[in-house]
Amino acid sequence: MANLFDYVKKYGNQSFIEKPFNDIDNFVFSSLSYLDFSNTEINKNICTLENIGKEYLSKNPYKDVKKLGIGPKEAYQLLETLVTKKRYQEVLLSDYVYKTNRDMQFCALTFQVSKKLKYICFEGTDEQISGWKEDLKLASTFPVPAHIEAVHYVNEHVSLFGPDVIIGGHSKGGNLALVAGMYMKFYKSGKVKKIYSNDGPGLRMEEFTSRQYQRVKKKYIHIVPNSSVVGMLLKSDCYKVVKSSKQNIFGHSMATWQIEDDKLVPSELSFKSTRLENNVHALLELYSDEEKAEMTDYLFNIMEQADIKKTFDLFNLKKLMKIKKNLKRVNLKAKLIARDFLFMIMI
């Protein structure tokens, strides 16, 4: 069965006029947001994907990028092919933003697909621990700092007299795309034709039942793999389930999602994903927002004390021993909540 790499190879020489933008093109652009373009000409000029891609590949060896995680690794491999394909070479990249601090990881990028269409993309969680902290805070806090950044970005880069817009992202980036579409300036919202969340978390119940969500629901496309984990977090009600070649969290990668010709291979949610979704909702109702926020703060304060700043620091034995030592100081309630979250995901 084919995947997005096969799609690019097969249709890479057809323009967006010959073959209009579709779900798989959304995967392609969403994947590229995992690459750090901050040391390229994109910060000075609007650049074609061909030029910026070749510059990025020349400055960033694959052996270094692959250490950053699955997202950057697969995006790098994809970019190597994209720079040779007519369909993508003349796409314009602009307005790259990357921000990170103790409480936030945020990245956004705009692709001018054609004169009539642009795709605004938000990156999912990268190797920064601050991004994972925001992921957990989605269950207890709204808005998180990245939400505010996403709304501001869309307001700034959607023009009432400009091209139509599609907003999208993978993982947390999908959640940011949805929230940005919900809370952007109303008079510009008509320019947004679709909102893609590629296996991104849903919403808290308060936002899920809001008029802002109801307003964008018809535009919202939530694609999840049949063994989804991340996409089952929080509340959602409209899945487009695609068959994945991998199970559990390994199916989170868009490169594992199966394609037949230029269409997604449909599937149904696995029993484990359905059970996870039910367990998440039950657990979120069991604890208050204050208790969930307390657990998150405790957990990440402990990581900070152990000098864990990136996900690969979690494989450092010395730092892990510091975490174990500091866990003894966490109050019982926070420990119980953390235990419940882990048990829910593992069973």
My answer on whether 37 and 179 are in the same domain is yes
| pTM of the shown model | 0.88
Structure tokens at 72: 């950057």
Question: 183 and 320 share a domain?
Answer: no
Last residue in a domain, options 270, 303, 337: 270
Mean pLDDT along residues 185-205: 96
Compute the average pLDDT of residues 231-255.
89
- Among 135-139, 221-225, 302-306, 324-328, name the most confident range: 221-225
CB 241 within 8 A of CB 277: no
pLDDT above 70 for 345: no
Q: Please tell me the distance from the alpha carbon of residue 37 to that of residue 52, in angstroms, as a whole number.
A: 8
Q: Does 223 reside within a domain?
A: yes
Domain end among 242, 270, 298 = 270
Residue 325 lies in domain: 287-346
Between 149 and 311, residue with greater pLDDT: 149
Tell me, yes or no, whether 282 lies in a domain.
Answer: no
**Are 148 and 258 contained in the same domain?**
yes
Domain assignment of residue 279, yes or no: no
Name the pLDDT band for 347 (thresholds 50, 70, 90).
Answer: very low
CA pair distance 262, 98, nearest whole angstrom: 32
Q: Are 317 and 291 part of one and the same domain?
A: yes
Indicate whether 328 and 186 sit together in one domain.
no
Mean pLDDT of the chain: 87
Are 171 and 125 in contact, with CB atoms under 8 Å apart? yes
Ramachandran angles phi, psi of 137, nearest 5°: -70, -15
Identify whether 291 is part of a domain: yes
Beta pairing partners, 128: 310
Mean pLDDT on 229-244: 89
54 and 82 fall within a common domain: yes
- Domain for residue 327, yes or no? yes
Pull the structure tokens for residue 168: 């999208």
Please state, as a whole number, how many other Cβ atoms lie within 10 Å of the Cβ of residue 202. Answer: 26
- Same domain for 102 and 219, yes or no, is yes
Position 281 in a domain:
no
Residue 221 domain-assigned (yes or no): yes
Using left for φ > 0, alpha for ψ between -120 and 50, and beta otherwise, residue 201 falls in beta
pLDDT at position 346, please?
45
Higher pLDDT, 129 or 78: 78
Residues 55 and 138 in one domain: yes
Are residue 325 and residue 229 in the same domain, yes or no?
no
Residue 218 resides in a domain: yes
Q: Are residues 291 and 230 in the same domain?
A: no
Segment 48-66 shows an average pLDDT of 95
Are residues 150 and 187 part of one domain?
yes
Domain harbouring 88, CATH code: 3.40.50
pLDDT at 165 over 50: yes
Clarify whether residues 83 and 24 are in a common domain.
yes
Q: How many domains does the chain have?
A: 2
* pLDDT reading at 141 higher than 70: yes
Q: Which of 270, 298, 319 is the last residue in one of the domains?
A: 270
